[in-house]
Structure 1
Amino acid sequence: MRTGSAGLLMVGLGLSAGVTVMGAFALVMALMSFVAFGLGLILVPLGLLGLRAWADLHRVIAGRILGTPVPTRLRPLSGGIGNWWRQLLTDPTTWRELLWIPVQAVVGTVLGMGMMFAAGVIFAALWSMATWWTDEAASVQFFGIVMDDPARAYGIGIPVVVLGVAALVLVLPALATSWATMTRTILHRGRMEQLEDRVGQLAETRSGAVHAHGAELRRIERDLHDGTQAQLVSIALRLGLAKEMVRDDPEQAAQMLADAQRGTEYAMEELRGIVRTIYPPILSDRGLNGALRSLVADAAVPTRLDLPDPEELGTLPAAIEGAAYFVVAEALTNVAKHSGASVASVSVSRMGDRLTVVVVDDGRGGVVESAGTGVTGIRRRVAALDGSATVDSPAGGPTVLTVELPCAP
């Protein structure tokens, strides 16, 4: 870690210690109000959630210093206040974070004050070297020594600055690493806890996948019933009438046969459309790269496509190819319908066993998932395959959709 960043971290830790102490005080007051007035029934869980968010921030900082992420809790709280109490009090993470409060308060205060003291000593030495010749020099003392002549100002000031800067360069990164290690040790979730969270997350995604699968089956059934089946019934009626009229009115019978033929072609086109929504034939014919090129070529908004070489992309499971295709299709449809964008881009990359799809547009941004923007459907589709989808859409744009899919064979 760079010395400058480590120095800022030390100062930040001093401020963090103050905020941590104030947060702990607020939590204690909330607990007291629970005893006195019952308000803590709501305030204590909210305080613990605030503590979790504050601890998560420090987990992120510690993870970046150490180069390995410190895992946070994956599952959000659910249910009412009563369930919040049960989930928080039975979660070992809560007690780990409560233990972290006094440690962070003490260590953060010591490190922050130590950094500011060291910076103050260096600044005082520099100030004495710059002002020894002024009338104020007699009032400037450095550890009891009056710095009113150049021999003392430079003789003491230069070694202090050199040694102080050298000490900071050597010590600050080590202190930052030590703090990060301490934070990870206290706040790190155990392997069993991570596995429990993972099982819970997989159970939720499985439920979402079952729901999405059921909805997809109902859609296919509805499309077949309302579209293709109606066409086939109409064709059967025309053929039956033509059969009865072929002797008495051959011309009318021929017209009905022609209508039935056109109806058959229309029904075949509808069937092809339904099949495309299940697994697009173009994926089998041209692969993911070719299918995405076709999608982008037909997009309503001009779109730039960045694809890896087929060798780099490698062989993907059919389910992953289909999900990536439909994610891009849905995203480009959303861009055209909701964003007001003038240009978009799609990029696909593969790193090991993870396929990443990124869709960016320069539209108005401010995507609200609950407003029918299609993001919820993308999340469900991706989660069903144990993938993840994130949306970064500040007001004014740009909007960035990032989807990661596991692609291990």
Structure 2
Amino acid sequence: MSTRWRPLVRDSLLAGARGLALCLLSIGASLALFVLSVLSMLLILLGVGVFTTPLVMTWVRMHANQRRLLAAQWSGVSIPPPYRPLPRDLRPGVTGMVERTTVLIKDPATWRDILWLLVDAIAGFVTALLALAPLVYGLEGLLIMAGLWVPLSGGYWYAVVPVDGFGSALLCGLFGVLFLSLGLAANRYPLQAHFLMAKSLLAPTRGAQLSQRVEQLYETRHDAVDSSAAELRRIERDLHDGAQARLVAMGMSLGTVESLIEKDPAKAKEVLAHARSASAEALTELRDLVRGIHPPVLAERGLGDATRALALRMQVPVEVDVELPGRFEEPVESAAYFSVSEVLTNAAKHSDATQVWLDIHYSKAAGGMLRIAVTDNGNGGASLHKGSGMRGIERRLGALDGVLAVSSPSGGPTLVTMEIPCEVSRARG
């Protein structure tokens, strides 16, 4: 077989195998769960459904989430979950079961899931079967031509051909080649249609998206307020414990100099030198504090040069690739800079990496997107749920509608990606 056709044949056979798996899921799991869901809802009238509905709906959502995962992995179709979060203060016992059932019944996504189960058991089965049928039917035609499938003695039809002799068997072979060619060329499209149909029912409606957006904005607003308050407390603590204490000590030293300058000039000179040293240390601490609030290089030179300067200060070698068309709004540059700083610091402290790669690019697609990727060759194991650093980055980016993703299998490598929707505020001169 020519190397040109191998990828096509491989992809077609893979689509056929996936179609078979989806057929079994549609006609088996979807149909069974639809029957269980309807029965459980009807049993609510008798009181029994209060206990069965939460369990059945858990199975339904697991089945729907599995289909979402397959849609993303097999066809690149993204189907976000639309479910409302369950209250955290549900009471135990029968009362809690009643509350849980009530919440599930009031969630429109529950009814859309049940409708999807029925549609998937019928139309979903058909579309999945279309990804497999041309290959199987074409293979049957070739087997008939070879005399390995049915006797060439009449009583059997293949497509529009009655199998009654060698001539009809040859015709079956021609039809088999036609069906196989059709399957090899187009059986991926029914698979795509299967997942697009699932998306039309499993994805959030516009109302649900708006509701989720309002909830997200509510959370990010509180996160932004909390972050600002924490930052102010940090600045106050650093000033109180650092520069302020040194300035007070320096004032006391100058008072001592006043009393010693005539009695013991040598001692006064020694105290004065100590005060000068303390003033230099206080100035250094104030500069570090100001740099922590908003680095001067970030304000003067922009995100690209600021991250390059940041990479030079890291203990681990950092290879930087920055391609930006200009400057962005100050909150965007600040959030991106401090997020990169946190990720690079984590890589230097915890990953045992010997090399880090930092890529920052801007895409004009979809209104503009700043994309940042930090990769290291360390031992992996990073997670959004470990420590407060990643959660802090997530909150910082969330205030700007940004997203954070971490891929860090055990043994490495670790890839941290950040995306911030934004527009160029000032083009590069």
Q: Which residue pairs with 2:29 in the alignment?
A: 19
Aligned to 1:79: 88
Deviation at 1:88, TM superposition (A): 3.3
Between the aligned partners of 2:132 and 2:141, the Cα distance in structure 1 is: 14
1:47 aligned residue (59, 64, 67): 59
State the SS of the aligned residue for 1:307.
Answer: strand
User: Residue 310 of structure 2 is aligned with which of 295, 310, 325?
Assistant: 295
Residue number in structure 2 paired with 1:103: 119
Give the alignment partner of residue 354 of structure 2, picking from 325, 335, 342.
Answer: 342
- Matched residue pairs, number? 399
Secondary structure at 2:412's aligned position in 1? coil
Asked if structure 2 preserves the Cα contact closer than 8 Å seen for 1:137 and 1:148, the reply is no
> Please, what TM-score do these two structures have when normalized by structure 1?
0.84
For 1:333, the aligned partner's letter is: T
Q: Is the CA contact 2:254–2:272 (under 8 Å) kept in the aligned structure 1?
A: yes
Alpha-carbon distance in 1 for matches of 2:141, 2:372:
55
2:328 aligns with: 316
* Alpha-carbon distance in 2 for matches of 1:242, 1:22: 90
**Equivalent residue runs for 1:1-400 within 5 Å:** 7-17=16-26, 18-24=28-34, 35-36=47-48, 39-40=51-52, 43-44=55-56, 46-54=58-66, 56-57=68-69, 60=72, 64=76, 69-73=78-82, 76-81=85-90, 85=101, 87-113=103-129, 116-131=132-147, 138=151, 143=156, 150-153=166-169, 155-168=170-183, 172=187, 175-176=190-191, 178-308=193-323, 312-352=324-364, 353-372=368-387, 374-400=389-415
Aligned partner of residue 211 in structure 2, secondary structure: helix
Change in Cα spacing, 1:181 to 1:295, as seen in structure 2 (3 Å) is: closer
How far the C-alpha of 1:285 sits from its partner, in A, is: 3.2
Q: Shift of the alpha carbon at 1:59?
A: 6.1
Deviations 1:264-300 (A, max 9, x none): 1100101111111110112123322211112212222
Residue 8 of structure 1 and its aligned partner are, at CA, apart by: 4.7
Distance 1:339 1:127, change over 3 A: same
Shift of 1:387: 1.1
Question: In structure 2, the residue corresponding to 1:367 is in which secondary structure?
Answer: coil
String of CA shifts for 1:368-399, please: whole Å, max 9, x gaps: 44432621121122112221111111222111
Aligned in 2, Cα 1:116/1:70: closer, same or farther, shift over 3 Å? closer
Q: TM-score, normalised by structure 2?
A: 0.81
Root mean square deviation of aligned Cα = 3.4
Gaps of 5+ in 2: 1-7, 91-95
Residue 314 of structure 1 deviates from its aligned partner by 1.6
The alpha carbon displacement at 1:257 in A equals 1.4
Cα drift, residue 111 of structure 1: 3.6
Q: 1:371 to 1:7 in 2, by over 3 A?
A: closer
Distance of 1:187 and 1:41 partners within structure 2: 19
The code of the aligned residue for 2:238 comes to D
Distance 1:235 1:85, change over 3 A: farther
Displacement of 1:315 in angstroms is 1.7
| C-alpha distance 128-316 of structure 1, shift in aligned 2 (>3 A) | same
Q: Which moved more, 1:79-88 or 1:290-299?
A: 79-88
* Aligned mates of 2:153, 2:265 — CA distance in 1: 119
Query: CA 1:278–1:6 in 2, change beyond 3 Å: closer, same or farther?
Result: same
Aligned in 2, Cα 1:288/1:378: closer, same or farther, shift over 3 Å?
Answer: same
The 3 A distance-change label for structure 1 pair 87 and 219 is: farther
The aligned amino acid for 2:116 is: W
Aligned-pair distance for 1:177? 5.4
Q: How far off its partner does 1:11 sit?
A: 2.6
Q: Is the 8 A contact 1:27 1:47 kept in 2?
A: no
Distance 1:305 1:75 in 2: 41
Distance 1:205 1:221 in 2: 24
CA distance in 2, matches of 1:347, 1:182: 37
Q: Give the AA of the match of 1:15.
A: L
Deviation at 1:164, TM superposition (A): 1.7
Of residues 269-278 and 108-117 in structure 1, the stretch that sits farther from structure 2 once superposed is: 108-117
Q: Which runs of 5+ in 1 are unaligned?
A: none
Q: Which is worse superposed, 77-86 or 90-99?
A: 77-86
Distance 1:138 1:279, change over 3 A: same
Q: Measure how far apart 1:245 and its partner are.
A: 1.5
Identity of aligned residues (%): 34
C-alpha distance in 2 between matches for 1:198 and 1:108: 30
